[in-house]
Amino acid sequence: MTEDIKKACQVMSEGGVILYPTDTIWGIGCDATNEEAVRRVYEIKQRVNSKAMLVLVDSPVKVDFYVQDVPDIAWDLIELADKPLTIIYSGARNLAPNLLAEDGSVGIRVTDEAFSQQLCRRFRKAVVSTSANISGQPSPGNFSEISEEVKSAVDYIVSYRREEVGSPKPSSVIKLEKGGVIKIIRE
């Protein structure tokens, strides 16, 4: 795992795109602050960049760095979540502009899965995490379900957890709106 993390960090620091296991399903990732790397992810997914992608961070403390004003309820939601939870925040900052939704919001998930958490910690920046599929196709739950088209388009494929089988699910997604309103996007 350590060598995989080192190599993945090196590739992302050079503007590359990786394929990696997350706390949910396999993801396509890159440096969330690098506009060109983010553009490449949209290209790989064959997706218009008006549809924002989420980012992973290794600790709740990092959320403050990427969001101008984190609502108090967010801290409770992060602490109490019993499964992976992506929260969409208004007022994103310090991220590639083409990563954000048209309203300036961004989805952030604090990961506690060993590999993705160590990856984010060692990289010291938010890491893009979007499902490892062409837009419109089913999200692959396991490495074996990822298309050759996606595999051949990335710069590095993590070896860790490739043999795992199961039925992982994407994260729950909620949006925190003004006045403390919580909107459920995906359960």
Q: Which domains does the chain have, with CATH numbers?
A: 2-186 (3.90.870.10)
Q: What percentage of the chain exceeds 90 in pLDDT?
A: 73
Residue 44 pLDDT: 94
Confidence of residue 171 (pLDDT cuts 50, 70, 90): confident
Task: Inform me whether the pLDDT recorded for 50 exceeds 70.
Answer: no
Strand order in the sheet with 156-157: 156-157, 18-20, 27-29, 127-131, 54-57, 106-110, 85-89, 172-177, 181-186
Structure confidence by residue, pLDDT tens digits, 116-168: 999 999 999 999 999 999 988 988 888 999 999 999 999 999 998 888 777 77
pTM: 0.92
